[in-house]
Amino acid sequence: MDYIGYQCPVCQKYFHADDDVVVCPECGTPHHRDCYEQTGHCFNEQMHAQGYDYQSEHEDDTNENVRVCPSCGKKNDMETFFCRSCGASLDPEKAKTEQQQQNTAYGGGQTNQANGVPFGAAFMDPLAGVPGDADFGDGVTAGEAAKYVKQNTPYFIRIFSNIRNFNKSKFNFSAALFTGGYMLYRKMYKLGALFAGLQLLMLIVESYISVAYNSLFTQFMEIYSNSMSTQDMIGNFMQFMQQCSFTEILVLYLPTLIEAARIVMMIVIGICFNRMYFKHCKKQIVKIKETSGSENPETVLQTKGGVNIALAISLLAAYLIIVYLPNFLTGFI
């Protein structure tokens, strides 16, 4: 009998894949070895005289069409590959191998008796303490959101929970720095394309101005440098600006205006991104659940969600080309 997912009657903790389990030779009740040695006898010793049989009592449990999580002991549907509660793999062998590797990396398997985590190990909960069946609205649970988000789930699941329960979010610095590119990386293709297009347009305008009006900017910088060593710096600037046409004045101010617009866009996206991504994730999960057909929604969530790394690399390459190409071209002008 596989005891993964059952509870030790002494400590009331679920048996995991790597637990040292001892079974009472009379009634078959499983115990953690430490728990059995601590009590010195079977937890159900008083019922031995009545012919108590642990396996007979739990025979129906083994016939249920469920998969028990080897990590937290929760029961899941047979079609599920990852626990709805904790997000761990439902393959006992894989879970045992991962646990053994973690124990080897953190002190040879010595564990914290409070929660079973190896001493010195950083406990990683993919749901950041949020229950897997927590309602995120629109029929979406925290476990489903975690499967769709995939990368950096602890951060986003906690944020989503705060948005749902307290209407509070946090500033997303990654979204602020990379704006449209970060949205495309997170597979928010429509909004990502819009903001990435705006960024691209700004870069193209700045690049075109720096190349087409290179001589004007060179002259402007010379006036600025010479004025720094004189007492009438403002007068020299005013004289230079009076000699410029309206188009030239606009060209001189345009990079500053574009940079200001970019900063405002970065701040707004940094403030709003987590809410936008929460809404996007729920919409996509609902759509997947409605259109998955014969496919397992859990599997589709794993494949459709996550991030688009290839697109992120392509955008970074394009950004570097647009930024540094003008400097390369101006060397030949």
List, for residues 109-143, the tens digit of each pLDDT value. 444 433 444 444 344 567 777 888 889 998 899 88
pLDDT classification of 63: cutoffs 50, 70, 90: very low
Would you call 332 exposed, middle or buried from its count of C-beta atoms within 10 A (0-12, 13-18, 19+)? exposed
Mapped onto helix, strand or coil, the DSSP state of residue 77 is strand
CA separation for the pair 26, 307 (Å, rounded)? 54
Residue 103's pLDDT is 47
- Give the range among 75-89, 153-167, 179-193, 215-229 with minimum mean pLDDT: 75-89
For 156, phi and psi rounded to 5 degrees?
-70, -35
Q: Is the dihedral of CA 46, 49, 52, 53 positive or negative?
A: positive
- Residue scoring higher pLDDT (2 or 277): 277
Longest dimension (CA), the chain: 109
pLDDT classification of 175: cutoffs 50, 70, 90: very high
202-260: per-residue pLDDT in tens? Answer: 888 887 887 778 778 777 777 777 666 666 666 766 777 777 788 888 888 888 898 89
Q: What is the mean pLDDT of residues 51-67?
A: 67
Residues 215-235: b if buried by 16+ CB within 10 A, e if exposed: eeeeebeebeeebeeeeeeee
- Residue scoring higher pLDDT (207 or 287): 287
- pLDDT of residue 332 exceeding 60, the answer is no
Q: Which residue has the tokens 């985590």?
A: 117
User: Residue 263 is inside which H or E element, if any?
Assistant: helix 246-291
Nearest to 268 by CA among 191, 172, 160, 185: 172
Residue 105's pLDDT is 42
User: In whole numbers, what is the pLDDT of the chain averaged over residues?
Assistant: 77
